[in-house]
Structure 1
Amino acid sequence: MSTLHSEMSPVVNLTRRHAVGVERTSHPVYVDLLPPCNHACPAGENIQAWLAQAQAGHWHAAWETLVADNPFPAIHGRVCYHPCEGSCNRGELDSAISIHAVERFLGDQAQAEGWTVAKAAPSGKRVLVIGAGPSGLAAAWHLARLGHEVEIRDAGPVAGGMMQFGIPAYRLPREVLAKEIAKVEQLGVKIVLDHKVEDILAEQQAGHFDAIYIAIGAQVGRHIDIPARDAARVLDAVSLLHTTASGEKPLLGRRVIVYGGSGTAMDAARTAKRLGADDAMIVYYRDSARMAAQPFEVKEALAEGIKIKWLSSIKDISGETVTVEKMVLDDKGRPQPTGEYETLQADSVVLALGQTTDIGFLRKIPGIEFQQDGTVIVGDDMQTGRAGIFAGGDVVPAQRSVTNAVGLGKKAARHIDAWLAGTVWTHPSTHRLVSFKELNLPLYADVIKAREPELPAPERADFSEIVGGLDEAAARHEAQRCLSCGNCYECDHCYAACPEAAIVKLGPDHGYDVNLDLCTGCQACFEQCPCHAIDMTPEAAAATGSAPIPSEKELTA
């Protein structure tokens, strides 16, 4: 590790004094601003807070802070697309914090040591959750912690939804998933499997449920009309992944074509290789810059020998011959046909064209309305047009990902809890976002990012995990790379910089205060704060009695 002078941030000139005059015009105020990682997290995690606890080695406290928002860190540390890292200010210096890797470490540590959480006293209220996928499980977790009696009913033979049947085991080992689900059951949540709900109102009445949360997943593959005469085997990616996760090994043949550009398409092609295909090719009608799959998914697929044929659209399947038309992108980035064709050979064609939900049973309920795309219309409180029935997950208009589903489950739980109490839950107002240019980093540590180890042999035929986790030292090292954007971490820079001794230390974990009888408003403390936890406030604002800014911890409590 080396310490370098950064040319990316302004250097503070300690020999220069601000002309404060005979009357102070502004003074420092300690603030908590919103870190970009927190802002980008679909699950609403207070990432900066649990990273701060992790970098101090307070692992259990970090886990408790994390699961207050997201109960499944061992899952999300493996499968989340981590948009938090794409927003991380550290990326402007060297590389973003590997937040997902530290999250995975916390989740794995909790499983190894059997960490548990407390829950409130019984409320006397009963809630039915339909669907044991990520959104339903998250809602059940939060509702149980709030003291409600929760029962989940799911049509599948195993809980987990698409985490069980849509994400291959090489990305999410089933024992890890099972242990996270077991923590939900440890809170007293009852999970009833092989139970397809057909009549919600009848089940509500029979079970004496006070509220219902509908959280069924999108487990029906979309189809398109492709002429197929005496075709090679054609199936959808959802069915392939589901069948494989159930322990069966579909016979795909040696040559497999996967049609689509999503993460599901990548998983389907990589699964085909593990099932014995010699040649697995993805055919996609756009280019690499416009595909839905994440760049790291494409990279991993290519590393395993998957081929990708860009700007190609399947037009016909006849026997083992697949006819594709070459496409070009117009000035708006939309694919257009060229009239040029070529033929490919395939024993199987897998369609990875997206998923939809089976919501026919919801149309029987008076008051529930639907969007044109078939998703359920809900209010800001996630309640449908039928009082006491809430909906989330894949049945409402939202980005479809495990993390987003978990975030919707948490949001639904808070609204349901308030509705059961006869109140309304409103999201606390948040602070303004702190940007990289607002940080004062005349010196910073240029630290090499901790890397998760790649587990060997991508050519193997089994579904063992392909990426390892960090050890304790590496996890703490990675957490210590956090810049604590917008949140004071008591570095004493302000205390040391003040020429008038106006900064008062309040003790560990209590921060600082400003003695306004001594402060001249020179801004030395403001310019020396590396994380921008200080704002200079005009005296006029102080005279109006502006309210103190709540901390990020208070906002996420």
Structure 2
Amino acid sequence: MQSRKDVTKLPDLGTTRGRVTPQRTRRPVYVDLLPPCNAGCPAGENIQNWLYLIKRGRAQDAWRQLTDDNPFPAIHGRVCYHPCEVACNRAELDQSVSIHAVERYLGDLAIENGWTYDKPSHHTGKKVLVIGAGPSGLSAAYHLARLGHEVEIRDGSDRPGGMMRWGIPEYRLPRDVLDAEIDRLVDLGVTITCNHPVHDLAAEVAEGGFDACFIAIGAHLSKKVDIPAQDTSKLVDAVGFLRDVAGGGRPLIGRKVAVYGGGNTAMDAARTAVRLGADETTIIYRRTREQMPAHQDEAEAAEQEGVKINWLQTITEVGDDLTVEIMELDEDGRPRGTGRFERLDADTVIMAVGQKPDTGFLHNIHGLRFDDDTLQVDPRTLMSDVPGIFAGGDAVPSERTVTVGTGHGKKAAHNIHMYLSAGQVVEPTKHPMAGFDKLNLWYFRDSDSQRTQPEMDPETRLSAFEEIVGGLSPDQALFEAQRCLSCGNCFECDGCLGACPEDAVIKLGKGHRYRFDYDKCTGCATCFEQCPVHAIEMVPEGVALPPDLTSAAQSHEASTRNGI
């Protein structure tokens, strides 16, 4: 065994506070990693951060953090299918954080208190035309306006909102909520011109002196399906049906209604038919429940309201009644006919077999490419093959949801900004993700299950189009926020401060986190091993950080300077 005298003569040793320590071969670095909820959000929200601010009692700051990415929290809190919650690490412990419910709470709180956006501090002198006042177009206009650009939205409808207004029923999205979120954009300086369909894009751009254009038209045209029909008066287009009802119409549909299709539009049409007084409403879908494109929550809500769903059936003829063929799945999981038929009574058949955008007005623009009726763009930047023309939402190949459209608007706006500023677009570096396996859960205790939103009884809610789901109370919203594990992001638990044997961790004050004193640090990794959220990485001494970790470390450094 070596004596202490022998040890002090070894060359690879250093001294810390008078004690002999090994020379450091690796060092700890504070980082902000990407939480799975953030990664799963199509709108690109910094969910972990705004939940953290709620935990700190800073609700308005939380709303401002949220609306840095998404201007519609009161809308998304109601209609988003919350893929963030599917990704949430908390689900591995008990249940995911009810992120959408807390988002709605913030959105409603902002409307109640009249919170508004800060006006842009400067103006670039650039003008951008946005075609379409749906979620994608409104989102792009919002972000472009905040970046200092002059923005005008032109839309063919008489009121803005796109499918949020004309496709989503009021029992899911009250129109006063939609109007409040849109009015805030107008107050910011966005010009919205309705009843202005665009027929000649080149002429619109030239006459208006626009420097760039974002195509954000919705999928308002119903796809056609070839079904023999002796009585075409029974056939109703789902998009037109929902639009009529959203505009205040109450179409006569009879006692028995059949809805053909398995998407979210089919579910909305069926639930609307029930509210219009149909005694029997049946959805007919040619595949199985597992293959259904509608979100599971929507199908379950429809069934709770008395809608019957006939799986593995397809309509083959419309006469005095419906002829449907029983389907089966082949070895590849595709539906095929069995030659067995049934007859169903129906006074009205609502066709909900899919929608497409009307991109015909773009086909005279040389250089644009199309895939059927959607415009082809670079998925990283959303710019088409024609410089200065961008597109998103339903106009491009994508999942057709409000949240995806909103995310497209944000992405397009920032790339349009770079295009107008530097003539090119650059994709930002993503931080590494903090998966469940990276967490050290010693700090967290089990909690009660997530707080649920109040919901109107199915029998009561069928008599009108009143909103059926309520919001969280302030205490419930705080409880949900406190369940967040803050994956990959320091929340100042002081674990590293208390664990460091060399006093190499320096606390910078509330909200400013910590930094390392590398003159004292030995690289023992105690701080790293105890950090509950993996906000510390160990990197080899003298080796440059890879780009993703460099970005994550810079993010943390910015937070220490500015406070989180």
TM-score, normalised on structure 1? 0.92
State which of 504, 509, 513 in structure 1 corresponds to 2:511. 509
1:46: Cα distance to partner? 0.8
* Alignment deviations for residues 333-371 of structure 1 (CA, whole Å, 9 cap, x no partner): 211221121111111111111100111111122222212
Give the match for residue 59 of structure 1.
59
Give the match for residue 471 of structure 2.
469
SS at match of 1:137: helix
Contact 1:502 1:515 in 2 (8 A): yes
Give the match for residue 156 of structure 2.
155
1:422: Cα distance to partner? 3.6
* Letter aligned with residue 307 of structure 1: K
Q: Compare 401-410 and 384-393 and name the one that shifted more.
A: 384-393
Residues 278 and 207 of structure 1, relative CA distance in 2, 3 Å threshold: same
C-alpha distance in structure 2 between counterparts of 1:529 and 1:256, whole Å: 58
Contact 2:129 2:151 in 1 (8 A): yes
Give the match for residue 373 of structure 2.
374
* Letter aligned with residue 143 of structure 1: L
Pairing 1:38–2:38 present: yes
* Letter aligned with residue 374 of structure 1: D
Residues 247 and 316 of structure 1, relative CA distance in 2, 3 Å threshold: same
1:323: Cα distance to partner? 1.4
Structure 1: gaps (5+ residues): 1-19
Contact 2:22 2:522 in 1 (8 A): no
1:189: Cα distance to partner? 1.4
Give the match for residue 430 of structure 2.
430
1:540: Cα distance to partner? 5.1
* Alignment deviations for residues 269-311 of structure 1 (CA, whole Å, 9 cap, x no partner): 0000001101111111111111111111111111111111111
Pairing 1:484–2:490 present: no
C-alpha distance in structure 2 between counterparts of 1:386 and 1:501, whole Å: 58
Give the match for residue 499 of structure 1.
501
* Structure with bigger RCO (C-alpha 8 Å, 6+ apart): 1
C-alpha distance in structure 2 between counterparts of 1:400 and 1:307, whole Å: 25
C-alpha distance in structure 1 between counterparts of 2:78 and 2:238, whole Å: 21
SS at match of 1:122: coil
1:542: Cα distance to partner? 6.8
C-alpha distance in structure 1 between counterparts of 2:507 and 2:558, whole Å: 21
C-alpha distance in structure 2 between counterparts of 1:429 and 1:547, whole Å: 9
1:443: Cα distance to partner? 5.0
C-alpha distance in structure 2 between counterparts of 1:286 and 1:551, whole Å: 47
* Alignment deviations for residues 421-470 of structure 1 (CA, whole Å, 9 cap, x no partner): 24323232011111101111135322221111113444532111010011
C-alpha distance in structure 1 between counterparts of 2:405 and 2:29, whole Å: 38
Give the match for residue 224 of structure 1.
225
C-alpha distance in structure 2 between counterparts of 1:367 and 1:158, whole Å: 32
1:226: Cα distance to partner? 0.9
Give the match for residue 181 of structure 1.
182
1:23: Cα distance to partner? 4.6
Give the match for residue 13 of structure 2.
none
Contact 1:230 1:318 in 2 (8 A): yes
Contact 1:232 1:346 in 2 (8 A): no
SS at match of 2:554: coil
Identity, in percent, stands at 53
Contact 1:85 1:96 in 2 (8 A): yes
TM-score, normalised on structure 2? 0.90
Q: How much is the aligned-residue C-alpha RMSD, in angstroms?
A: 2.2
Contact 2:305 2:462 in 1 (8 A): no
Give the match for residue 554 of structure 2.
550
Pairing 1:258–2:252 present: no
Pairing 1:281–2:282 present: yes
SS at match of 1:157: coil
SS at match of 1:132: coil
C-alpha distance in structure 1 between counterparts of 2:545 and 2:332, whole Å: 53
Residues 179 and 547 of structure 1, relative CA distance in 2, 3 Å threshold: closer
C-alpha distance in structure 2 between counterparts of 1:502 and 1:422, whole Å: 43
Residues 494 and 501 of structure 1, relative CA distance in 2, 3 Å threshold: same
C-alpha distance in structure 1 between counterparts of 2:531 and 2:261, whole Å: 49
Q: Compare 51-60 and 506-515 and name the one that shifted more.
A: 506-515
C-alpha distance in structure 2 between counterparts of 1:459 and 1:170, whole Å: 9
Residues 223 and 522 of structure 1, relative CA distance in 2, 3 Å threshold: same
Equivalent residue runs for 1:13-92 within 5 Å: 22-92=22-92
Q: Compare 537-546 and 53-62 and name the one that shifted more.
A: 537-546
C-alpha distance in structure 2 between counterparts of 1:346 and 1:484, whole Å: 52
C-alpha distance in structure 2 between counterparts of 1:444 and 1:34, whole Å: 19
* Letter aligned with residue 475 of structure 1: A
Structure 2: gaps (5+ residues): 1-19
1:388: Cα distance to partner? 2.6
Give the match for residue 195 of structure 2.
194
* Alignment deviations for residues 122-143 of structure 1 (CA, whole Å, 9 cap, x no partner): 2222222111111111111111
Residues 438 and 256 of structure 1, relative CA distance in 2, 3 Å threshold: same
* Letter aligned with residue 330 of structure 2: D
Contact 1:273 1:280 in 2 (8 A): yes
* Letter aligned with residue 541 of structure 2: E
SS at match of 1:86: helix
C-alpha distance in structure 2 between counterparts of 1:192 and 1:542, whole Å: 52
Aligned residues: 535
C-alpha distance in structure 2 between counterparts of 1:217 and 1:543, whole Å: 43
Give the match for residue 345 of structure 2.
345
C-alpha distance in structure 2 between counterparts of 1:368 and 1:53, whole Å: 44
C-alpha distance in structure 2 between counterparts of 1:186 and 1:440, whole Å: 46
C-alpha distance in structure 1 between counterparts of 2:452 and 2:429, whole Å: 36
C-alpha distance in structure 2 between counterparts of 1:495 and 1:189, whole Å: 48
Give the match for residue 530 of structure 1.
532
C-alpha distance in structure 2 between counterparts of 1:173 and 1:445, whole Å: 38
Residues 326 and 508 of structure 1, relative CA distance in 2, 3 Å threshold: same
Equivalent residue runs for 1:323-338 within 5 Å: 323-338=323-338
1:261: Cα distance to partner? 1.0
Contact 1:262 1:291 in 2 (8 A): yes
Give the match for residue 102 of structure 1.
102
C-alpha distance in structure 1 between counterparts of 2:29 and 2:467, whole Å: 49
